[in-house]
A and B are shown apart, each in its own frame.
Chain A
């Protein structure tokens, strides 16, 4: 595990991008809430180094889908096969302990509300260091050094390392949550509306940061949002959801510029121009 902690992400992205096997292969994923459909028969492949956007209105099933993919919700049907170091594994049928280990190592989850992804009573440095300790890091100096390095990467001044997140602005909290998630060098990051609730100027800064990290670390990302401008700038590919089903998918700019489905056409034409 130590190699992973001190992972320095220089060469990996190119190598990932030429991979012949998907990082995540999703087949027939379905989740029902009684009679109501959460998401139904969702299938797709996510390739290493790819950013996949999932858009749709509130209630379209995109958050349910993300929760099922990340193992926060148990789907009723389907499989979510992740390419682990030991080969492809269906994360739906693996044990809870194995899934938790994935969540600490190869996976990361960035919540819309930083308070759901941070420990508000622990210092900024502690928030980042905690995830390192969860995968076995013990040397205090090394952990603090890594934490400082990551605070710098997400543009939080070093002298804020001992402050609690409560004292941070919303944008800073979100950047801290990203640092906490990425410090262990995950391969797949789930993001739920990561720029929601932030001022537009703060959003731009966060988008720039995310793009750089995706490129440098060769991250694969599944990002749920209702903001088409965000996916255009961040996502390689796009899935459009309505009523729990994927109604259209393809290259992000193709889906937005040449939408096929009535719902996507409505969505795109409803965006206000500035």
Chain B
């Protein structure tokens, strides 16, 4: 479902003397449906960079990133927009929302964009929020006022509300208590069982051992490292 080959990336900092910083070379990995692959490597090794490139958030310098039938490295913006709507979900570490939108709407939005009826979208959003232990009295409030752990759970609910065939997870269990961590690990297990291809970053070693089928060390893709 996700196939990365010979991917490279550098940043050019025009306002800092035009410094060119190569950050990745020769990256390659595959994630099959129903599989979860974990990215490992020290902080700064390029785990998030690789994940952002798969999502089309960072541009690739060279190489290919196939998600389903689309090469994200070559695709037009509108093709990536459709891919993100239907096929490729992303749970980032940050929740970015319009300030006053109620939590339930934030979670239901990916379904509304796909044309799911409002009632059904809200029901599915409500079911996930309940499962992730967000109290019902908070559903009508904007998540911008929530604690870090609550925001993280809203973000997870938003990422799992549609049954994306491919999912990117950036530290989905960070800042969660044991009970909620368990819910998230179950959600990941269920997504794998229905055939989703998952690429994740898990600093939480217990979580990594439990959900990942394979690990890919991104240190091998660091330019200049052998």
User: Chain A interface (Cβ within 8 Å of chain B)?
Assistant: 13-14, 17, 47, 50, 201, 204-205, 207-208, 211, 215, 232-233, 236-237, 250-251, 253-254, 257-258, 260-262, 265-266, 269
Contacts and interface: CB of A to CB of B under 8 A. Distances in A.
Given A205-B100, A211-B98, A257 B15 contact: no
B101 interface: yes
A130 B184 CA distance: 53
Contacts of A266: 14-15
A201 B99 CA distance: 8
Contacts of B56: 251, 254
Contacts, number: 61
Interface residues of B, number: 24
Q: Is the interface of A mostly helix, strand, loop or mixed?
A: helix
B179 interface: no
A266 B13 CA distance: 10
Interface string B3-18: 0000000011111000
B100 A204 contact: yes
A254 B58 contact: yes
B59 A254 contact: yes
A204 B98 contact: yes
Interface in B34-89: 52, 56-59, 77-78, 80-82
Interface in B109-136: 112-113, 115
B81 A236 contact: yes
A204 B96 CA distance: 13
Given A215-B112, A233-B98, A258-B59, A50 B78 contact: yes
Nearest to A14: B115
Nearest to A204: B99
B75 to A, nearest CB: 10
A258 B78 contact: no
B131 to A, nearest CB: 26
A251 B15 contact: no
B53 to A, nearest CB: 9
Contact of B77 (A208, A236, A260, A261): A236
Given A208-B100, A266-B15, A47 B78 contact: yes
27 contacts: A14-B115, A17-B82, A47-B78, A50-B81, A201-B99, A201-B100, A207-B98, A232-B96, A233-B96, A233-B98, A236-B77, A237-B78, A237-B81, A251-B77, A253-B57, A254-B56, A254-B58, A254-B77, A257-B57, A258-B52, A258-B57, A258-B58, A260-B59, A262-B15, A265-B13, A265-B14, A265-B15
